[in-house]
Each structure stands twice: as structure tokens, then as C-alpha cells.
Amino acid sequence: MTSILTNLFDGVAYGMLLFVLACGLAVTLGLMNFVNLAHGAFAMAGGYVCMVLVNRMGWPFFAALPLAFVSAAAIGIALERTLYRHLYTRSHLDQVLFTIGLTFMSVAAVDYIQGSSRVFINLPDALQGQFDLFGVGIGRYRLMIIVICGLLTIGLQMVLAKTRFGSRLRAAVDDPRAASGLGINVPQVFAFTFAFGCGLAGLGGALSAEILGLDPYFPLKFMIYFLIVVTVGGSSSITGPFLASLLLGIGDVAGKYYVPKMGPFVIYTMMIVILIWRPNGLFGRTAAR
């Protein structure tokens, strides 16, 4: 019984992590209709920034996390202004080719600067180990992930649903021409959203170093997971990818625990079944446009 709860807990933490990593992609892919396969590169950038700050410069972990966000967002906005915006109107194939090239360049660059071996971020002692709650083993680090990611999700949902910026963004996505006619600065809204998505990925990258491992191949290794989250969740809202991440996280952990021989396939099987059942994802708009 307790091992079920521990697994559930691990699954939720894993799912939350996937969500923070992938929700930026849901925004660019779903809201802005741009295929950004280089998303993982921003996550990796955040992770490495955090690692350098904590390990080499002695920053406390919690101070370095916001900087992982900020630096990934800054790189995001620089690239959006200089490179990405030229591709918004191009075909998806061009976008894929461009962003996959960018991914390979990021891999080579990080490999060159930091070396190819896996790096770890030194954690404060308070975040290490597990404690027992009514017999259920709770990992401190995973608990922190759940708290941070949970707050982020609520915040995001509030911003999108309740604020003026949120309604502008939704308007810009639904009909960019009408939105700009109404005086909304669509490119600016997109640039800001893109940067925010990259920032989230950077934060996710910093958080995932401990659990998923951080090395220069991160963007390639986890690209598939990000894409699964977005396809399964549907890309029209934040809730879709969120629930999809949780489902996949829990499914993956449970699958590996109960049927270790089949473990790695569970996540893919779930994806196939869900997509057969609902081709636009769990919360996709059916045949929009």
C-alpha cells in the first residue's frame, strides 16, 4: 500500500517536472503555431547556468534558480528577435530544419565549453534524502519540485485567464490580424510569451539536473518527451499539457515499477492509445480552423 503512494508521489513529481519543461513548447507550438524543436536547448542553458552559479561561484541553490529562468529567457528573447521571428511565416518544414540545426549547435557549443560528461548541481542538505509521512517515503527534492511547479501552474493559469496580458495573448493567437487591428502589439506579445516559455524551460532544466541528469545531449534526449506531452495534452491550453504530463509521469513510474520489463514502452503505448482515441490530444480543439 505504501509503495503505491510512494510511486504516486514520484510520478506526480516527475510529471510536474515534465510539465515545466514542456509547457513553453505547448505555448510556442500550440498558441504561436511555431515548431520549436530547440526547446530543450533553452532548458539545457538554464541548467548549465544554475550549475555554474552554484558549483563554481558558490551561489545558494535557491538564488540560482531564478537566474536560470532569467538567463534562459534572455537567450530566448535575443534569439527570437534576431532569428526566430523571420521564420514565423515560413513553412513548418523550414521551422523544423532551422530549430533542429539550432539544437545541434547548442549541443556542440555546450560540449565544447563544458565538456561532455554529465554534471550535477550541488544541493543544500535540506533538499537531500527522504522522510516518512505515515509510512510513505517522500523525497525532499521531489516535494520541492511539486511545490514549485504547482505554484507555477496556478500562476500561469491565473495570468492567462484573468489578466489583461492573458486576454491579449489569447486574442493574438486566435486572430492575429484582428488583434493587431485592435491595437495589440502582436509581435511584442509573441516575443514576451516566447521568452517566458524559454525561461520556464530554463527553470525546468535546472530542476531536472538532479533527476534526469544534465549533459550536452539533453535537448536531443528529451525532445521526444516534450513532444509527447504536447501531442497528448493538446496544445490549445495550459490544462491539457498539465494533465498529460501528470498522466505520463505517473504512468511511466508505475509502469517501470510494476512491469519493469515493459517499463520503457508504457509511456509510448499510452501516447498511441490516447491519440487513437482523441487525435487532437486530450484537450485539443477538434478541427479548429
Can you give the binding site for another protein, defined by CB under 8 A?
A: 3, 6-7, 10, 14, 108, 111, 115-120, 128-130, 137, 139-141, 210-213, 215, 217, 221-222, 225, 252-257, 260-261, 263-264
- Are 121 and 50 in contact by the 8 Å Cβ rule? The answer is yes
- To another protein, the closest distance from the beta carbon of 134 in angstroms equals 16
User: Dihedrals φ, ψ of 133, to 5°?
Assistant: -125, 105
Closer residue to another protein, CB minimum distance, 41 or 169: 41
- To another protein, the closest distance from the beta carbon of 196 in angstroms equals 25
Residues 146-173: b if buried by 16+ CB within 10 A, e if exposed:
bebbeebbeebeeebeeeeeeebbebbb
Instruction: Mention every residue, 6+ apart, whose C-beta is less than 8 A from residue 94.
Output: 87
- To another protein, the closest distance from the beta carbon of 3 in angstroms equals 6
207: left (phi over 0), alpha (psi -120 to 50) or beta: alpha
- To another protein, the closest distance from the beta carbon of 257 in angstroms equals 4
- To another protein, the closest distance from the beta carbon of 254 in angstroms equals 7
- To another protein, the closest distance from the beta carbon of 275 in angstroms equals 21
CB atoms within 10 A of CB 141: 16
Q: How far apart are the first and last CA of the chain?
A: 48
Closer residue to another protein, CB minimum distance, 38 or 209: 209
User: Dihedrals φ, ψ of 214, to 5°?
Assistant: -120, 120
Largest CA distance in the chain: 59
Mark out the alpha helices in 175-238 (DSSP H runs).
176-181, 186-212, 218-233
Closer residue to another protein, CB minimum distance, 128 or 188: 128
Task: Using the structure block, give the residue that is written with the C-alpha cell 513548418.
Answer: 92
- To another protein, the closest distance from the beta carbon of 67 in angstroms equals 21
- To another protein, the closest distance from the beta carbon of 222 in angstroms equals 7
Closer residue to another protein, CB minimum distance, 130 or 280: 130
Closer residue to another protein, CB minimum distance, 6 or 237: 6
Query: Which amino acid, 211?
Result: I
- Chain-centroid distance, C-alpha 146: 14
Closer residue to another protein, CB minimum distance, 219 or 255: 255
**Strand spans (E) along the chain:** 130-133, 136-139
